[in-house]
Amino acid sequence: MKVLFAIVLFFIIPQAFAQEFPEYGVSVETVADNLSVPWSIDFAEDGRMFFTERTGNVRVIQDGKLLSPILTLDVAGGEGGLLGIKLDPDFEQNNYVYLYYTYNEFFETKNKVVRYVENDNSLREDMILLEPFAGASYHDGGRLGFGPDGKLYITTGDAGMPEMSQDRNTVVGKILRINPDGTIPDDNPYANAVYSLGHRNPQGITWDKDGRMFATEHGPSGWRGFAHDEINQIIPGKNYGWPEIIGDETKDGMTNPVLHSGDDTWAPSGASFYYGTEIPQWTGNLFVATLRGEHLHMISFDQDRIKSHEKLFFGDFGRLRDVVEGPDGYLYLLTSNRDGRGNPTSNDDRILRIMPMTVISSFEQCMDAGNPVMESYPRQCRTHDGKHFVEAVTKIPRWVKDTAKWWSLGQISDKDFTLGLEFLIMKNIIVIPEDTTQEESSESHIPSWLRENARWWSQGILPDEEFLQGVQWMIDNKFIKI
């Protein structure tokens, strides 16, 4: 059925213009645009995509067409609204769809989880699975997911009441686990719906191939400090510390994250492990959509240890709300630029699809796609279908562009970057033509446009000539001494 889905999806979705990212070996195309704050997405085996818009709509893409809303709910505003959606693992037989939403009742804001029955692209309420509980204009959690055990997992925020996160008898500030009919599993740790506690605002849950559960969580933004967003491995009955500890702080009986953002704010949301084969260089990694961070975070594991993590598509698509591996083996992203905190473009918000680059025509593209490289001189790269590419040694090497990218992301200091450029110029690895000029200006710091130029150049958007003009500017202004 997965193969059938991939074939159907390829032909029914219009092949829109794809933006290529040779440094990652992928292209990104728009599946749907002009959406109203999409929040969560799931897929049916018949090729339909179901997704929520936070403003209250459930929508479907079928046969390449974005349908009118199949359900519209009266929802609360702020960070709340219509949030998570999940299709039942047996959706083809029972047609169950699960929704998490925030609503107003008199002068109170509440959340609830409801099961619906889908029929011919319409939804009928079937039963309330989680009775209304405290909500707010912020910290509403909202992610739904079915675990490998067939249970429904639910993330809830602290609704602005941090102390409630430590109360195991409430569902606020928790990750919950229930049966698909709303009953409590016999093996839950506290004989109620609570699976883990001490959460501030978890917005993403996912499982790796070994069944380990991971969750994303927003760190503090006020009285308890700032940033320190979290990636947690979720173990039943564990306490993840909010509001008692953040980051690397410790306290008896409380569990630290496997990764946190330190003083950098990511605002992580949806998460998904990628086990597809279409983008082999990414297989096995964890992907996290970030809002404030405006990037897709990729995390690589070495068994129980995080081996590396990096920011992808930094600033390219704005705020990202969800990332999901589709049954076709591609990754899907939901943007969130119309949520009141972004800078939307004319076609926001969008559903994006990440695919392998369709054409490999250079050594750099071959290498970025994860193909084997022979460490000869010049280096050689061969694709899986036998195509062979040789590195053009007369060009600036790719590792120099990687250095420029790391500097643009703030991972290398100005001093280290300029010292590196001095060395590269002295060794004739970077050769600046004698007629290279740059408009005269003088600043005490390296200007932001140079950092932006470095990012564009590392992505292949800016030609070598324009990047070298920036290097000439740094020479003229004594940042580089040669």
Q: Please, which residues have CB within 8 angstroms of residue 173's CB and are 6 or more apart in sequence?
A: 156, 157, 158, 159, 161, 162, 164, 165, 166, 197, 198, 199, 200, 242
CATH, range 2-356:
2.120.10.30
Task: Round to whole Å and give the CA distance between 374 and 382.
Answer: 8
| pLDDT over threshold 90, residue 457 | no
- Per-residue pLDDT, averaged over 319-342, amounts to 96
Per the DSSP assignment, residues forming a β-bridge with 40 are 52
Determine the pLDDT at residue 8.
Answer: 39
pLDDT over 70, % of the chain: 93
- Per-residue pLDDT, averaged over 217-244, amounts to 96
- Residue 13: pLDDT band by 50, 70, 90 thresholds? very low
Determine the pLDDT at residue 327.
Answer: 94
| Lowest-confidence segment of 350-364, 383-397, 435-449 by average pLDDT | 383-397
Task: Round to whole Å and give the CA distance between 459 and 311.
Answer: 14
| pLDDT over threshold 90, residue 2 | no
Q: In this structure, are residues 228 and 220 in contact, taking their beta carbons and an 8 Å threshold?
A: yes
| pLDDT over threshold 50, residue 236 | yes
> What pLDDT digit, counting tens, does each position of 181-223 carry?
999 999 999 999 999 999 999 999 999 999 999 999 999 999 9
Per-residue burial over 384-400, b = 16 or more CB atoms within 10 Å of its CB, e = otherwise:
eeeeebebeeeebbbeb
> What pLDDT digit, counting tens, does each position of 459-482 carry?
878 888 888 888 888 888 888 887
Tell me the range of 20-29, 67-76, 390-399 where mean pLDDT is highest: 67-76
Per the DSSP assignment, residues forming a β-bridge with 230 are 217, 260
- Per-residue pLDDT, averaged over 437-446, amounts to 71
Task: Round to whole Å and give the CA distance between 407 and 467.
Answer: 14
Mean of all residue pLDDT scores within the chain: 90
Determine the pLDDT at residue 316.
Answer: 97
| pLDDT over threshold 60, residue 93 | yes
- Per-residue pLDDT, averaged over 373-394, amounts to 74
Q: In this structure, are residues 115 and 98 in contact, taking their beta carbons and an 8 Å threshold?
A: yes
Greater confidence, 414 or 128? 128
- Residue 395: pLDDT band by 50, 70, 90 thresholds? low
Task: Round to whole Å and give the CA distance between 205 and 305.
Answer: 19
| pLDDT over threshold 60, residue 4 | no
Determine the pLDDT at residue 392.
Answer: 65
Task: Round to whole Å and give the CA distance between 463 and 317.
Answer: 22
Determine the pLDDT at residue 401.
Answer: 83
CATH 2.120.10.30 residue ranges of the chain are: 2-356
